[in-house]
Amino acid sequence: MVLELKVPHGDDLAALRPLLPVFLSYVLSFVYVGIYWNNHHHLLHAVRQVNGPTMWANLHLLFWLSLIPFVTGWMGQNHFHRIPVICYGLVLLMAGVAYSILTRILLRHHGKDSVLHKAIGSDFKGNLSLVAYLVAMPLAFVHPWISMGIYFAVAALWFIPDRRIESHLKE
């Protein structure tokens, strides 16, 4: 985990206060990286063989995830100002798109009856997340905390144990 917090100079709790926004964005990014790590683990567990396109799609995903520490720090150090918040959303969106591409490439190489297919399901959550990011980004012009609220809501969505919820929503 490459996210980093700079050590403050003071020795009291007040010294931690300016770090609060950085810490908050750190927590959010930790959760997002955790979600990707978690799902990525599940995904690759169900994969039987890895080929060229898969590795490129995987690298593409890693590229966007590698930008998360950068946008996290930028957003936190600017107290969730509009533009950094939008850029944060953009990186989340691109990581989501990259994950979706990786999933599709993997599905194409595995049959419809494969374990992988059952493990991924309809990717309802994935698509909902992409839409949420697209909605959240322009809303930062109204107020950045609306975007932040949506980013947190999407993260929460992935925490809920879902199979059942998903099937209800699809009916």
Q: What is the CA radius of gyration of the chain?
A: 18
Which range binds a second copy by CB under 8 A, 77-85, 88-96, 104-112, 127-135?
77-85
- Residue 150 tokens read as 């949506």
- CA quadruple 20, 15, 71, 79: dihedral sign: positive
Residues numbered 11 to 30 that lie near a second copy (CB under 8 A) are 11-13, 15-16, 27, 30
| CB closer to a second copy out of 20 and 83 | 83
Cα dihedral 68/145/147/25 (nearest 10)? 10
Q: Are 76 and 135 in contact (CB under 8 A)?
A: no
For 14, residues 6+ apart whose C-beta sits below 8 A from its C-beta are none
149 lines the binding site for a second copy (CB under 8 A): no
Smallest distance, a second copy to C-beta of residue 5, A? 5
DSSP state of 19: G
CB atoms within 10 A of CB 123: 16
Among 46, 82, 90, 97, binds a second copy (CB under 8 A): 82
Which range binds a second copy by CB under 8 A, 8-16, 97-105, 115-123, 135-143?
8-16
Residues numbered 42 to 71 that lie near a second copy (CB under 8 A) are 52, 55-56, 59, 62-63, 66-67, 70
Residues that bind a second copy (CB under 8 A): 1, 3, 5, 7-13, 15-16, 27, 30, 34, 37-38, 41, 52, 55-56, 59, 62-63, 66-67, 70, 73-74, 77-78, 81-84, 87, 159, 161
